[in-house]
Amino acid sequence: MTSPEPGHPRTSLSDTLADLLQGAGVDKTSKIRVTGPAGLAALLWFCRHRYEQVGFVKSGPSPSDDGDLLIVPQTCDIDALAAILQRGPHARQGGVLIVQTPEPDETAAGPDPVHSLLRKSGYRVERCLHGHHRELHVARRRAGPPRRMAA
């Protein structure tokens, strides 16, 4: 477990996020990109915890470079996640995407639709945490052919 930052007491949410990032191989020098309407709070958290290369990128096509981590802090339904994966910023190949979605319908049979979408979009789900009617997905972008840039 990481030690608390000077002047910032540890909280269970802060502990969980720091441990999740460490487990995904994200450290203070990683290139981190935050996107979406809830991005400001996440951006401030990273800055307060002294992550060195954090930036906000708009949802949708953007000229930014791919980061080691792309975090989408708001809860996305499957359609919003599909739009981000298709037209939004991306983690670099080998980089990590962290996104939260509503929990799937318990009555639905078959594989988790979010995991299927992530797989089809070139990500491998490494971790999935459940709680408060949401799932938090940690997925790593697989190596493959370069993605096409939007016009």
Q: Which CATH superfamily is domain 12-141 in?
A: Vaccinia Virus protein VP39 (3.40.50.150)
Q: Kindly give the confidence (pLDDT) of every residue in the chain, 151 residues in length, as a single tens digit, with 9 standing for 90 and above.
A: 344 455 555 556 678 888 899 999 999 999 999 998 889 999 999 999 999 999 998 877 666 668 999 999 999 999 999 999 988 888 999 999 999 999 877 766 778 899 999 999 999 999 998 887 889 999 999 986 544 444 4
Tokens of 116: 């299927």
Q: Check residue 105 and give its pLDDT.
A: 73
Burial readout 61-100 (b: 16 or more C-beta within 10 A, e: otherwise): eeeeebbbbbbbbebbeeebbbebbeebbbbbeebbbbbb
Q: How many residues can be counted in the chain?
A: 151
pLDDT reported for residue 133: 84
Q: Look at residue 30 in the predicted model and tell me its pLDDT.
A: 96
Task: Report residue 140 as tokens.
Answer: 């790593």
Give pLDDT, residue 36: 87
- Give whole-number Cα distances, 1 to 12, 20, 46, 145, in Å: 12, 10, 17, 36
3-state secondary structure 41-106: HHHHHHHHCCCCEEEEECCCCCCCCCEEEEEEEEECCHHHHHHHHHHCCCEEEEEEEEEEEECCCC
Cβ-contact 34, 73 below 8 angstroms: yes
Distance of alpha carbon 128 from alpha carbon 12, whole angstroms: 18
How far is Cα of residue 149 from the mean position of the Cα atoms in its chain? 20
